Amino acid sequence: MATTSPPGVGLAKGLAVTIKHLFRYPSTQMYPKQRPDLPPRTRGVIALMDENCTVCMLCARECPDWCIYIDSHKETVPPAKEGGRARTRNVLDRFAIDFSLCMYCGICVEVCPFDALWWSPEFEYAEFQIDDLLHEKERLREWMDTVPPPPMLEEGAVPPAEAADAIAKKEKELEAEAAKQAEVTAPPAEAAAAPAEAKPRTADVKVEGAGEIDQETYDRLIAEGKSERIARSKAKSAWVRKQKEKLAAEQEAATAEERGGDEAAAAKPKAAEVHVEAGEIDQETYDQLIAEGKSERMARAKAKAAYVRKQRAKLAADAEAGAEDGGSEAGGGAPEASTPAEPADADEPKPKPADVHVEGAGEIDQETYDQLIAEGKSERIARSKAKAAWVRKQKQKLIDEGGDA
């Protein structure tokens, strides 16, 4: 007997626990009457972004239940250049997931290398006939509208490669400048030696040699009774942090200028992250769709998507306004809360951009094409890039229109 308490105490404890629960509010969610409070990354249904799918078959092969059905055919694409080799391309004919077999393991979503499969939190697709649980391509595409935007990066997370590169580039410029200045004003000290090796991902300002500290932080910590050593080291890191923020803010402004036009506009909204609470919808869109005779479920899903779009546009606008303020503040030397709007996954395809099929027509963006040719790029490369530019612009246009609607 491992028990150390006198006999009966355990029995009394058991009774006490249960009686306490009797007077607690039950945690039941009254589901059909009350929408469940689902976390945004809930695994409700799998959505397919079919234009991203390259028919690589990874998902179908990895699925433990073998419940993904894919059919495709090969199409020959005529050579881009006279005398070139004709290419073949897979075209998706059928993509179906049998949700009566699926066990929601998420392996297919994980394994897809082209971001064609996504989790959506929608879960109300019960059917009276088991066959109806086989969702074909079109149905899977519809779920795409209900996919929430990807989550915001955590504070202090390693920034995405694109952002890190941009920061590193700007940093180099700044350091080169600083080195130049140091040469002019002061005898070459450690500060000048640093820039050469600086090439990390985050805006990393070398401060060890000089030992600059953030006076404000230092004073505060000392006032709080921290030891001199701790205060100094913390103030030092605070200084580095502030420097980084400043650099990042400047960088952000610079890249916005550099990119100009579409790309900058495309990059901005990405930064603004929207978490959709269960049931928040755009009433206008909802009413309109219902009026058009769409099903309640579809209307809700689309209205949700519209809500997300609007929220994002709004936040993007806010962020832009904030970035301007942040810039001036950064100049003043006290950048506090203005976290640099992350360019984040700027170039990554968003779940929702309006899909534009362009392969057949082969439209290109003439401007880009001319420019690339002028730069001496090969005809093939210029054409493909111009094509991509056209698609990008088209999508942007559609998104803008969608946002306005």
Partner 1 sequence: MMDLVFSTAITFVGQATSITTFDSYALSVVVKIAFALGLFFVVPLIGGYLEHKVMGRMQARRGPVEAGPFGTLQLVADGIKFIQKEDVIPRAADKWVFAAAPGVALVPGMLIFLVLPIGPGVFALDLELGLFYALAISSVSVLGIMMGGWASANKFALLGGLRAGGQLIAYELPLILAAIAVAVQAGTLSLVGIVEAQATFTLPGTTINVWYLFPQFLGFAIFFLAAMAELSRPPFDMPIADSELVFGYMTEYTGIKFAMYLLTEYGGMIVMSALMVVLYLGGWQLLPGVPLPGCEGTGGLFDCDPMGTLLGVVITIGKIMALVFLMVWARVAYPRLREDQLQRFAWLALIPLALLNLALVGVAKVVF
Q: Give the footprint of ligand SF4 on this chain (CB under 6 A).
A: 53-59, 63-65, 67-68, 70, 97, 102-108, 111-112, 114, 116-117
Distance CA(345)–CA(273), nearest Å, equals: 11
Residue 15 interacting with partner 1 (CB under 8 A) = yes
Pick from 103, 154, 161, 93: which is nearest to 133 by CA? 103
Size, binding site for partner 1 by CB under 8 A: 14
Q: Which of 1, 2, 22, 157 binds partner 1 (CB under 8 A)?
A: 22
Q: Which is nearer to ligand SF4, 59 or 364 (CB)?
A: 59
Site string for partner 1, 28-47 (x = CB under 8 A): x-x-----------------
- The HSE-up count of residue 173 (CA atoms within 13 Å, CB side) is 11
**DSSP letter at 94?**
E
Output the CA–CA distances (angstroms, integers) from residue 20 to 9, 14, 25, 348, in the order listed: 16, 10, 10, 52
Residue 18 interacting with partner 1 (CB under 8 A) = yes
Pick from 257, 267, 229: which is nearest to 343 by CA? 267
Strand partners, 102: none
Q: Which of 8, 21, 261, 332 binds partner 1 (CB under 8 A)?
A: 21
Q: Which is nearer to ligand SF4, 111 or 168 (CB)?
A: 111
The piece of 25-33, 34-42, 189-197, 340-348 that touches partner 1 (CB under 8 A) is 25-33
Q: Which is nearer to ligand SF4, 113 or 279 (CB)?
A: 113
Q: Which does 4 bind (CB under 5 to 8 A by kind): partner 1, ligand SF4, none?
A: none
Pick from 301, 298, 279: which is nearest to 31 by CA? 279
The piece of 17-25, 64-72, 77-85, 297-305 that touches partner 1 (CB under 8 A) is 17-25
Q: Which does 164 bind (CB under 5 to 8 A by kind): ligand SF4, partner 1, none?
A: none
Distance CA(190)–CA(178), nearest Å, equals: 12
Residues 6 or more apart whose CB falls under 8 angstroms from that of 284 comprise: 306
Residue 24 interacting with partner 1 (CB under 8 A) = yes
Gyration radius from the chain CA atoms: 28
**DSSP letter at 57?**
-
The piece of 24-32, 43-51, 224-232, 354-362 that touches partner 1 (CB under 8 A) is 24-32
Q: Which is nearer to partner 1, 21 or 85 (CB)?
A: 21
Phi, psi values for residue 383, rounded to 5°: -65, -45
Strand partners, 47: 118
Q: Which of 17, 126, 184, 291 binds partner 1 (CB under 8 A)?
A: 17
Distance CA(112)–CA(58), nearest Å, equals: 7
Measured over the CA atoms of residue 207, residue 158, residue 269 and residue 345, the dihedral's sign is: positive
User: Please, what is the minimum distance in Å from the beta carbon of residue 109 to ligand SF4?
Assistant: 7
Q: Which is nearer to ligand SF4, 109 or 168 (CB)?
A: 109
Contact residues for partner 1 (CB under 8 A)?
Answer: 11, 14-15, 17-19, 21-24, 26-28, 30
